[in-house]
Amino acid sequence: MRRYHVTTFGCQMNAHDSERIKGLLEELGLGEAPSQEQADVIVLNTCTIREKPDTRFAAHMGNAAKAKRDRPGTVVAVGGCYAEAQRERLFALYPDVDVAFGPGTISHLGDWLGAGGEGVARGSFGTGEERTFAARLPVRRERRFQAWVQVSMGCNSVCSYCIVPAVRGRETSRRPGEVLAEIEQLAAEGVREVTLLGQNVNSYGRDLGSSFAELLRACDAVPGIERIRFTSPHPKDFRQDVIAAMAECAAVCEHAHLPLQSGSSRILKAMRRTYSRERYLRLVAELRAAIPDLALTTDIIAGFPGETDADFRETLEVVEEVGYDGAFTFVYSPRAGTEAAAMPDQVPDKLKRERIERLVEVVQRVAAGRNAGRVGMVEEVLVEGPSRTDSGLLRGRTRRNTTVNFSGDAASGELVSVAIEGATSTTLAGMQLALAVA
Ligand code: 5AD
Ligand code: SF4
């Protein structure tokens, strides 16, 4: 049997797409290889949001080229956002690539392999016009009880730092009926937690006369689905109806990932985020008023062009004021072709690094304080498997999306009650209470 290996480089949508690539390859009769070295088909599902994943991809291509020398006949397939962004140059940059495709043209890989490489030219790339939902492809899910569900593709925002709109195209929503049919099927297969995915989930449905709030309510009504998560919402589109749906739907988790990017209204304007610091803080207050136990996480960029020390201090202030439960922090990375990459006042690397260090320190202190506040409480935990740090312990996540390492005897996929006894800036520790919740 021919074997494949898929490497995921990017976000949750990228991870979702990798599961579809695996499903497609298995339908073609391939099995999964434990490592790239043992695979006949090496798939690299790339990301290009910052320079780092681009560099990681280049390193992987070095290994893939070696695999082709050692084992002639090995196929190297490159998909994802970097492939799409570089579609004109990819085969020239990396002559070892056999077939390439973008996030909207994954099925091209199947067509190419299905044709045995015959009749379809080596170095071929799916065309952007045939963009379809990856969600319509077969799937090999990593977890029995958790699933990604794609609700839309593309992004209509124009954030000046971001390459994604150029790569993933205009936003198109999947029909609510199609999304719900998938979720009902997942529930029938034993899935208890779904994460709805879109580049901007809050603008879901506008192209269909539907809305994200309606979708949340419909998902909530599916029996067996006990947890609903979604990512990422854009603060500009987070409306009252979605807040109300979050508050009223029992399965929608008490967590919002609300990308801030900067706490300075001046920088937010240059980023074309279309909200100010004040409006963002108002949204946080509204969310907290409606959902008392809400966890908030965020994305923050340090060192955007023109960011002064005063702007950066405003970001630190907002982190303190909101009191995030966690944050992904990034050094600004210029992306060719974006508006911000051409801005004149780029921040020197040394300063960007200094700022990210200060930012991480504040984020960790704030998050550690938030987690410490959970000690003494009992949390509902969905068990995911053995702890990564101590195989004698179990690991799972709370509804608020915090990882918990705990002593207990539950099976993966079970919901249990855990008494919280300790906390770090990113995890909780505790002990399972005798009775499982369900
Ligand atoms: N540089 C640094 N971080 C970026 N992000 C997006 N584009 C860039 C960039 N050019 C971050 C944003 C976004 C997250 C997914 O990645 O914070 O929310
Ligand atoms: Fe995800 Fe963006 Fe990376 Fe594409 S470029 S994989 S959308 S993070």
Query: Is the confidence at residue 126, as pLDDT, over 80?
Result: no
pLDDT tens, position by position, 353-405: 999 999 999 999 999 999 999 999 999 999 999 999 898 999 999 999 999 99
Domain spanning 378-432, CATH class: mainly beta
Place of tokens 């988790």: 253
**Residue bearing the bigger pLDDT, 311 or 1:** 311
Q: What is the C-alpha to C-alpha distance for residues 114 and 376, in angstroms, rounded to an integer?
A: 57
The contacts of residue 372 (CB under 8 Å, 6+ apart) are: 423
Q: Do 268 and 157 contact (CB within 8 A), yes or no?
A: no
Extract the tokens encoding 418.
């855990």
pLDDT at 119: 59
**If you average pLDDT over residues 237-248, what whole number do you get?**
97
Pocket test for ligand 2, best of 14, 43, 86, 153 (most atoms within 8 A of CB): 14
Distance CA 179, CA 169 (A): 20
The ligand placed nearest to the CA atom of residue 198 is 2
If you take atom 7 of ligand 2, which residue's CA is the nearest one? 164
**pTM assigned to the model:** 0.96
Domain locations in the chain as residue ranges: 3-117, 141-371, 378-432
49 CB within 6 A, ligand 1: yes
Average pLDDT over residues 86-108: 93
**Which ligand 1 atom is at minimum distance from the Cα of 335?**
10
User: Of all protein residues, whose CA lies closest to atom 8 belonging to ligand 2?
Assistant: 11
Which pLDDT score is estimated for 218?
Answer: 98
Q: Give the residue-averaged pLDDT of 147-163.
A: 97
The yes-or-no verdict on residue 437 having pLDDT over 60 is no
Locate 128 and state its tokens. 């952007």
Is the pLDDT score of 128 beyond 70?
no
**Would you say residue 282 has pLDDT above 70?**
yes
Cα separation, 227 vs 220, whole angstroms: 8
What pLDDT sits at residue 44? Answer: 98
Mean pLDDT, residues 250-274: 98
pLDDT in tens, 100-114: 999 999 999 998 888
Task: Determine the atom of ligand 2 nearest the C-alpha atom of 13.
Answer: 1
Residue 167 has pLDDT above 60, yes or no: yes
Pick the CATH number of 141-371 from 3.40.1640.10, 3.30.70.20, 3.40.366.30, 3.80.30.20: 3.80.30.20
CATH architecture of the domain covering 3-117: 3-Layer(aba) Sandwich (3.40)
**pLDDT band, residue 19 (cuts 50/70/90):** very high
- What values do phi and psi take at 46, rounded to 5? -80, 170
Ligand 2, from 81, 152, 153: best to mutate by most atoms within 8 Å of Cβ? 81
If you average pLDDT over every residue of the chain, what do you get? 95
Query: How close is the Cα of 290 to the center of ligand 2, in Å?
Result: 31
* CA-nearest residue, atom 1 of ligand 2: 11
